[in-house]
Structure 1
Amino acid sequence: MRDIDRALAEIGEIRSQIASHTAFRGYGPLAISITGLLALMTAAAQSLLPVAGTPLLYISEWMVTAAVCGAVVRIEMQGRSKRLHSGLADVMIHQAIEQFLPATAASAFMPLLLLQFAPEGAWMMPGLWQLFVSLGIYASLHNLPRSMFYAGAFYLVSGFATLLYASQTHVLSPWLMGVPFLIGQTLMAVILYFAAGECDGED
């Protein structure tokens, strides 16, 4: 029994090593594009509802949007991974989630901490969320197309620019979330689209 357990553990280790050196193709341009449109729709809805400018509602609505976007990406990821990675699909999905997990956790807990202990600092969240996305992208670069570096750079620059701009007024503007995320997610979708074409060509 110990030999069987050892053999299974070694097989699992080998699969993990192979997955760590394989480009992850589970992220699809369609789902990423949809998340950008959802961000724009949320910003448009908030701009029409002045009450959405309160910190609690503003943050709550964007966190709900983020959860919906995560579900959209996860559904497409599951299908694409099964089709493109076959036997390695589960390992690679787990690895992709693991790489993005720290940034995701920071994106969830930081606004909750601000709302609880420093609601006057909620104006920082649009910029911080963009910075967290940048960190998540860079944490995943090893298994993503090399050109995804530019998407990470965009979110890094836009995050700091948003913080600088918002620091002048401390106003929770929906467009400081909607516009950067529309641009950033569209850029990611374009990169993934052309990367998929290159991979298909190699196949």
Structure 2
Amino acid sequence: MRDLDKALADIIAIRSQLAAGTAFAGYGPAAIFATAFVALITAGAQYAWLDDPTHHPLAFLFGWAIAAGLSALMIFTEMVARSRRRHHSGLADAMIHQAVEQFLPSAVAGVLLAFVLWKFAAESLWLLPGLWQVLVSLGVFASVRTLPRSVALAGAWYFVAGFTVLLIASQTHELSPWTMGLPFVIGQSLMATIIYFASGVSDVEG
């Protein structure tokens, strides 16, 4: 029984090593591009219906939490479908786990950061849009080794945009739907474009 457990552990280790050295083709440009529209719609809706985001931070954060959850669900659903349909066959589960693992620290940090600022330093919530964008850039950079290297351009965009938003927001200490929305519209569109041309196939073909 011990030999069987060791053999299974070795197989899992080998699969993980193969997954780590294989370019991940699970991300679909269509789903990523759709998340840009989610960001645009969210920013537009908050601009139209949320009179003063700075004085209604929970409504602002809740709106973007819904947008982030919807975007993550769209990307994950297509990622699973593409990976298991034909792109990674037997390595699909290992590749999906690796992709989630690469982004998870940044996502968890973003959630915890929002909670801590809201609970203990509400006057500093204006920092969140810029900090979230910096965290996304770290998630993108963490994924570069299994994605087309040009994806680093999207990571660089989020990094620069995040600090630019921090500088802009530092002048007023106000929350704005557009300093949150526009960087993600541009960043997700850039990411989708890079992945589309790097893969050489569309979602329909993939």
> Which stretches in structure 2 are left out of the alignment for 5+ residues?
202-206
* Structure 1 residue 50: Cα displacement: 2.8
Partner of 2:74: 72
| Secondary structure of the corresponding residue to residue 147 of structure 1 | helix
Q: Structure 1 residue runs of 4+, over 4 Å off?
A: none
* Structure 1 residue 159: Cα displacement: 0.2
Supply the distance in 1 between the matched residues of 2:96 and 2:50 (Cα, whole angstroms). 40
Count of aligned residue pairs for this structure pair: 198
Supply the distance in 2 between the matched residues of 1:2 and 1:111 (Cα, whole angstroms). 46
* Structure 1 residue 51: Cα displacement: 4.3
TM-score (norm 1): 0.95
* Structure 1 residue 52: Cα displacement: 6.0
* Structure 1 residue 56: Cα displacement: 1.1
Cα–Cα, structure 1 residues 137 and 31, in superposed 2: closer, same or farther, change >3 Å?
same
Supply the distance in 2 between the matched residues of 1:157 and 1:118 (Cα, whole angstroms). 25
Partner of 1:201: none
Partner of 1:50: 50
Partner of 1:162: 165
Verify: 1:153 aligned to 2:150, yes or no. no
User: In 2, are the aligned partners of 1:52 and 1:58 still within 8 Å (CA)?
Assistant: no
Q: Describe the superposition over 1:160-195 as per-residue Cα deviations: whole angstroms up to 9, x where unpaired.
A: 000000000111110001111000000000000011
User: In 2, are the aligned partners of 1:51 and 1:57 still within 8 Å (CA)?
Assistant: no
Q: Describe the superposition over 1:46-66 as per-residue Cα deviations: whole angstroms up to 9, x where unpaired.
A: 001134611111111101110
Supply the distance in 2 between the matched residues of 1:89 and 1:130 (Cα, whole angstroms). 29
User: In 2, are the aligned partners of 1:15 and 1:91 still within 8 Å (CA)?
Assistant: yes
TM-score (norm 2): 0.94
Verify: 1:117 aligned to 2:120, yes or no. yes
Q: RMSD of aligned C-alpha atoms?
A: 1.0
